[in-house]
Amino acid sequence: MAKVRVLIVDDSAVVRSVLAELLSMDPGIEVVGEAEDPYVARDKIKALRPDVLTLDIEMPRMDGLTFLKNLMRLNPMPVVMLSSLTSEGAEETLYALELGAVDFISKPTVSASDTALEQFQRELISKIKTAAATASKLKFRRTSSTPAPKTASTKPLSFGKHSLIAMGASTGGTEALREVICGLPAGMPPIVVTQHIPATFSSRFANRLNEQAVLTVKEPAENEVLQPGYVYIAPGSHHLEIKKRGDQLYCHLSDAERVNRHKPSVEVMFKSLLGISPDKVVAVMLTGMGEDGAKAMKELVDAGAHSLVQDEASSMVWGMPGAAYRYGAAKELVSLDKVADKLVRYFSR
C-alpha cells in the first residue's frame, strides 16, 4: 500500500521538525516536504503533489485561513488544521472546517509530557490517514462559508410528549450537523446531539450554529429540561444522557470514563434513550470515524425507534454510519442533503 504523502505547513521551524519526526515514525506516512508559509507551500504542492497538508493558522505573509480558502477553490485537497486551545483558536478552527478542512488537532504545549506527546502523535497519525481517505469526497464538500438558508416550515409539525431527535457524529460532523440543523424549521421536537469535539470548541460550535439556525442551539446545563425548538449540543467534557422525571425529559451531564475512546460518546447518549420511550425517538447517525453509537442505535431500533443513517457517498468518513448500517440499525439510508427534509416529513405526518 502506498504511503500517505504529507506536506507540513507551519512558520515555526521547531514545530515543523517535531511534526516531521513524529509522522516519520509511522511506516504508512512519508513527509515529502515542509513549508514556512503559504507562498512556499503553494510551490511545494505543485512540485511534490502531497496527499495531505497539515496547516497552521497563524503565519506571516498570508494566514492559514486565507490560504485554505484559496486552496479549496483552486485545488481542493485534504487538510488537517493545527490549532491552539484558545477561544480565538476555536473560532478560527471552526471557520476552517466550514471552508473545507477535514479535521483539526490542537498543538501540544511546550511543556507537554511524554504521555501527552505520544497521545498527540497517535491522534495526528490517525487524522492524517483518515484525511487521506477523504480525497475523493472533496467534490461533495461545500467550500463556501455561507450558512445554509434558514428554513420556514410549510406544514404544521405533529409530535407527542417525549418525542425527540438524537444525532451522533464525529469526523466531518460539524459541517454535516450545520447542514442538517440549519435546514430544520422552528417547532421541531427537542434535538440532542453528541459530536466528538474538545471541550474548548463545543460551546463555540453551539454558538455558531445558534447564529445560523432557526432553532435555538446551546450547550445544556445539568438537569436542564428538554424543550421543543431547541438543539442541545453535548459539551466536549461530558457525556450527555437523557433522563425522565415525572412527565419531563432532562439532560444529565456525566463525567464518567470515556466510552469507545470518546467523551462525549454517542453510545452513552443513545443508550440513555432506551429507558424513556424508544418508540418516540428518531436516531440519526452522521459521518464519523469508528463505530461509536452504532450498537446502541441498533438497540434503539429494535426497541421501536425510527432511524436515519447518512449514506456512504455523502459521508466524509463512513465509519459510524457504515457500522450502524452493517448492524442493521438503518431504517433509512439517506444522503446528507435529504436528512433535514426526512425529519420534517416524519413529524408532518
Concerning whether 196 is annotated as a catalytic residue, the answer is yes
Q: Which residue of the set 170, 202, 265, 314 is catalytic?
A: 170
What's the per-residue H, E or C state across the chain? CCCEEEEEECCCHHHHHHHHHHHHCCCCEEEEEEECCHHHHHHHHHHHCCCEEEEECCCCCCCHHHHHHHHHHHCCCCEEEEECCCHHHHHHHHHHHHHCCCEEEECCCCCCCHHHHHHHHHHHHHHHHHHHCCHHHHHHCCCCCCCCCCCCCCCCCCCCCCCEEEEEECCCHHHHHHHHHCCCCCCCCCEEEEECCCHHHHHHHHHHHHHHCCCEEECCCCCCECCCCEEEECCCCCEEEEEEECCEEEEEEECCCCECCECCCHHHHHHHHHHCCHHHEEEEECCECCCCCHHHHHHHHHCCCEEEEECCCCCCCECHHHHHHHCCCCCEEECHHHHHHHHHHHCCC
Concerning whether 262 is annotated as a catalytic residue, the answer is no
Concerning whether 170 is annotated as a catalytic residue, the answer is yes
Q: Which residue of the set 37, 51, 103, 292 is catalytic?
A: 292
Strand order from edge to edge, sheet including 79-83 = 29-35, 4-9, 52-56, 79-83, 103-106
Q: Which residue of the set 162, 196, 239, 262 is catalytic?
A: 196
Spatial distance between the Cα atoms of 99 and 142, rounded to a whole number of angstroms:
7
* Inter-helix orientation angle 87-99/199-212, to 10°: 60
- List active site positions: 170, 196, 292
